[in-house]
Structure 1
Amino acid sequence: MAYRLGIDVGGTNTDAVILDENNRVLAQTKTHTTEDIGSGIATAIQQVFADTEIAKEDVTIAMLGTTQCTNAIVERKKLISVGVLRVAAPATHSIPPFTDWDPELVAAIRPQTAIVSGGHEYDGRLIAAVDEDEVRTVLEQWRGKVDAVAIVGAFSALNADQEEQVRAVVAQVYGKDFPVSLSSAIGSLGLIERENATVLNSALFAVIEKVTSGFANSLRDVGVTDASLFLCQNDGTLMALDYAQKYPIFTIGSGPTNSIRGAAFLSELKDAIVLDIGGTTSDLGVLVNGFPRESSIAVNVGGVKTNFRMPDINSIGIGGGTVVHQHDDGTFTVGPDSVGYRITEKALVFGGDVLTLTDVAVRLGKANLGDPEKVAHVDLDLAQKVEQQVKQMLEDAIDSMKTQAGDVDLVLVGGGAIVAPATLNGVKQIHQDQLGAVANAIGATIAQVGGEYEKMYSYDAVDREDALADATEAAKQQALKAGARAETVKLVEMTETAIAYAPGNTTRVKAKVVGEIELDTLG
């Protein structure tokens, strides 16, 4: 028998589950996230195996969903210096790299920038050729000042040849193993947003190296030595560790995505809104054909606008550890701050001195945690009013995720689900499962390997069917690189968007495929 181990690291809790070949959950655990992350992962692994007689050597696949890349950007820590080569002169000098960035984040990346000759027009016409000598001169000036390079070409979503050409020059000057990010492999249309995402990807190389090596070492230390290792992507799929090391930006948003996929598995619903209530936030996402709906607008990551694929998530400050602030005039406010992973020492029911939404749930008789006597003094009218406030906030958030009128199915998951009201306006039915508290880890464990590709095609020059087939094949190649088994890869989504301002019946084609894990993929 072969088993799969899934781990999801959240801001408050680290969850782990073990599934068998038939996707039955055999063991689960929830432990507090630690400040160093790694020790919390190790504790979760030890605990989940303590609940079962499964031999650790029988685990063939292990998956990790992590927020470490997100945290590094938000906290402006552990980022490496990046050289930004924009291949788009003379067309783009008016808006230099790092326009509108937070100065603290720029300082954390310590960038070098250059806009060199190159680029294409929106219809594929050449703006300027690449001057390789110019690129070499810039790279020599940067020698010893940058730890990674981000290469960004104008309309490289249409033609990535110049980015590849510049990458070859970087390899000649700095060596073939020097870390490089190409914007054509990361972002979509929109030069600045794609550039921003590519810079962040390069800045995260050291963080992802620590994550991948730490994950592998944690497993090895506890005796899981024969498993293929994967990280969770933000579209609900997996990628092998070596692929993740090239594209750390794709781990951002994977936490909520894991919960959405886990919710789909537990509820057996293909289309619904998912509400994941954790210890710090409530994350809302939308299930479309069993996968998270992607955001159609530029996504803000740590204060930077980007346009790489991200789930459409709405997060609000409602969680089990959310603080209820009482004011001298008798009013109150809910959050947005939370006691987070310190809830067992801060919340009233655990002997602390902070009124949290968990305390309110216990006071209302909705949960039996800690010592209920420690919240007996909380005014019942206050608790009921707090619950009504939470109800209104959740209803507003649910409405914001709808694309059409009418009531919707809602899947409620997460360790903080006890704070949710029994009914919600605008919701047809609330679906819950006893394993909902570890839905994020389940989502990580059941995930398939994914691949995505996007390109603009002129249907006047290329037959539509040929264009769709080309995009599908390119997405399949991405899935294979990420660790999918070739014969299992299938198309799950294809979108075509007409580009009104472009000639020649130009259409943006986006293909997404998924496949089963290739067990020969090694961490």
Structure 2
Amino acid sequence: MITGIDVGPTHTDAAILTGDGTPWATAKVPSVPDDPVTSVRHALAALHKRQRPGHPGPGKAEPAQVAVGLRGPAQAVVERKGLAKVAVLRIGGPAAQAVRPLFGWPADLRDAVRAGTAVVEGGGGFDAAEWTPLDTGAVAEFAAALAGRADAIAITGVFSPVDGTQERQAADIVRRELGDAVHISLSGELGPLGLLERENTTVLDAALHRLAADLSDGLRAAIGASATVLVTRGDGTLMGLDHLRRHPGLGLGGGLAGTLRGAAALTGLPDAVVADVGEHRVRVAALTAGFPQQALDAEIGGVPVGFWMPDLIRVARGGPHARHALAEAVDRMQPAAGRLPLVVVGGGAGEVPATLPGVAEVLHPEHGAVAGAIGAAASPVGGQAERVVRVDPRTDLGAVLDEVREEARVSAVRAGADPRRVQVSDVTRTPLPYLPSVTLRLHARASGPAHPL
């Protein structure tokens, strides 16, 4: 059996699923403000008091696997609380100085995280001839000046998704100057080709590292040393606590992603529009092939980012126009062709009527009030890989596709998947306009059950 927990702002939901995905027991308890770990403890205690009539329940033994949906990292960014001080190093030289690091950030968020910025020579393009050598002296000088000022370093290189060698070289220099106590986030491991969104992604990832470490320690203590503990990711998969420590930003959007996965599990629908009805607002999103439809222009805390996060429309709950606003949001989330059903979940789902104007079908699945917990329990451990490649007569595209698939598989294993049971999707190929010759963005997704302890 697998336990799922979803820590929301007002309530924490919990569910136990049997091996075939059937809910065995569910519970809902008030969340403890600003204390997700205690909320998890309370939810587990409530869950273990419940069992199906006439069947032996799981008792009070430690669960074998617990998957937790957290909104704490996103809340920290939005509220500017508990964030680490980050030094931002960009590798790109004069061509990368037109827009400085942290440009366009809300002033209060920028002040909360900034420990210094620098742009140094380096970076390049698709071919070795297009690369400029890394200015290692400038990197060392910047790092030495950060002693006692920065908790973390975010390193972003121009074209690092193509080749991350210079980012790794810069990280080695930073470690020599500052030691291993300073957290380092590398953009090539996190974001897409676009420089600014990828840099923003890396800065927020670094800013969340202390919060992620505290959450990891707290969850391990609350759940028990013998259990496999996982947390939700924004792409609708899970990752282990060690991976959360390394890449805390991957958890942004994980709470909603788990709810969407729960809607899919409860209805059996791979494609649908989902309304998650909370205490104060409704979040409308979509399922595509059983996973959250990803936002093309993701933003958190007023900052554009390249994290994989669900596409989302927020609607205020209550008021004379709430029904019309919800129907309009559902319509905006519909694909270009066809009318997908609306699945209504969340603690306030009962207030949404069985019919809405312009909506073909409204579904209220059983156990929908705890869809986030069910989705956390039902989700696989996942990983992704993305590469940009210039295709010419010399390119062995088949070999490159195999490499991307292997990178996705390795990413899932690093996140905590059982290497013997990982499955890798086909590699999608997206042409990139406005670049010389034929240039493709290649993307693969891998997922599988968690590696047992």
Shorter-normalised TM range? over 0.9
Query: Is the 2:9–2:33 Cα contact (8 Å) retained in structure 1?
Result: no
Do structure 1's residue 411 and structure 2's residue 352 form an aligned pair? no
Counterpart of 1:363 in structure 2 is none
> What whole-Å deviation, never above 9, does each CA across 1:88-113 have from its counterpart, x for those lacking one?
11221221111011111111113211
Counterpart of 1:41 in structure 2 is 40
Counterpart of 1:204 in structure 2 is 208
CA distance in 1, matches of 2:149, 2:343: 49
Query: Is the 1:259–1:440 Cα contact (8 Å) retained in structure 2?
Result: yes
Query: Is the 2:387–2:443 Cα contact (8 Å) retained in structure 1?
Result: yes
SS at match of 2:48: helix
Counterpart of 1:228 in structure 2 is 228
CA distance in 1, matches of 2:358, 2:25: 35
Counterpart of 1:254 in structure 2 is 254
Query: What percent of counterpart residues are identical?
Result: 35
SS at match of 1:164: helix
SS at match of 1:111: strand
SS at match of 2:174: helix
CA distance in 2, matches of 1:497, 1:407: 26
> What whole-Å deviation, never above 9, does each CA across 1:359-398 have from its counterpart, x for those lacking one?
xxxxxxxxxxxxxxxxxxxxxxxxxxx3xx2221111001
Counterpart of 1:462 in structure 2 is 395
Counterpart of 1:370 in structure 2 is none
1:125 CA displacement: 4.6
> What whole-Å deviation, never above 9, does each CA across 1:259-283 have from its counterpart, x for those lacking one?
1101111101111111111222211
> What whole-Å deviation, never above 9, does each CA across 1:448-468 have from its counterpart, x for those lacking one?
011101111122142222222
Query: Is the 1:449–1:515 Cα contact (8 Å) retained in structure 2?
Result: yes
| Counterpart mapping for 1:330-369 below 5 A | 334=319
1:235 CA displacement: 0.7
CA distance in 1, matches of 2:362, 2:315: 19
Q: Unpaired segments of 5 or more residues in structure 1?
A: 323-333, 335-385
SS at match of 2:332: helix
Which of 133, 137, 147 aligns to 1:133? It is: 137
Query: Is the 1:415–1:437 Cα contact (8 Å) retained in structure 2?
Result: yes
Do structure 1's residue 149 and structure 2's residue 158 form an aligned pair? no
CA distance in 2, matches of 1:90, 1:148: 25
- Aligned partner letter, 1:518: H
Q: Which moved more, 1:169-178 or 1:118-127?
A: 118-127
Counterpart of 1:487 in structure 2 is 420
| Counterpart mapping for 1:291-370 below 5 A | 291-296=291-296, 298-318=297-317, 322=318, 334=319
1:437 CA displacement: 0.5
CA distance in 1, matches of 2:381, 2:264: 17
> What whole-Å deviation, never above 9, does each CA across 1:54-104 have from its counterpart, x for those lacking one?
134351101111011011111111111111110111221221111011111
Q: Closer, same or farther in 2 for the Cα pair 1:35/1:58, shift >3 Å?
A: closer
CA distance in 2, matches of 1:494, 1:121: 22
Taking structure 1 as the reference length, the TM-score comes to 0.82
Q: Closer, same or farther in 2 for the Cα pair 1:306/1:100, shift >3 Å?
A: same
Do structure 1's residue 104 and structure 2's residue 37 form an aligned pair? no
1:123 CA displacement: 6.0
Aligned-residue Cα RMSD (Å) equals 1.6
- Aligned partner letter, 2:302: G
- Aligned partner letter, 1:33: S
| Counterpart mapping for 1:215-294 below 5 A | 215-220=219-224, 225-294=225-294
Do structure 1's residue 402 and structure 2's residue 400 form an aligned pair? no
Q: Which moved more, 1:146-155 or 1:85-94?
A: 85-94
Which of 154, 164, 171 aligns to 2:175? It is: 171
Query: Is the 2:354–2:363 Cα contact (8 Å) retained in structure 1?
Result: no
Query: Is the 1:12–1:280 Cα contact (8 Å) retained in structure 2?
Result: no
1:17 CA displacement: 0.9
Q: How many residues align?
A: 446
1:16 CA displacement: 0.8
CA distance in 2, matches of 1:29, 1:402: 32
Do structure 1's residue 121 and structure 2's residue 125 form an aligned pair? yes
Taking structure 2 as the reference length, the TM-score comes to 0.95
SS at match of 1:44: helix
1:496 CA displacement: 1.1
CA distance in 2, matches of 1:248, 1:279: 27
- Aligned partner letter, 2:420: E
Counterpart of 2:359 in structure 1 is 427
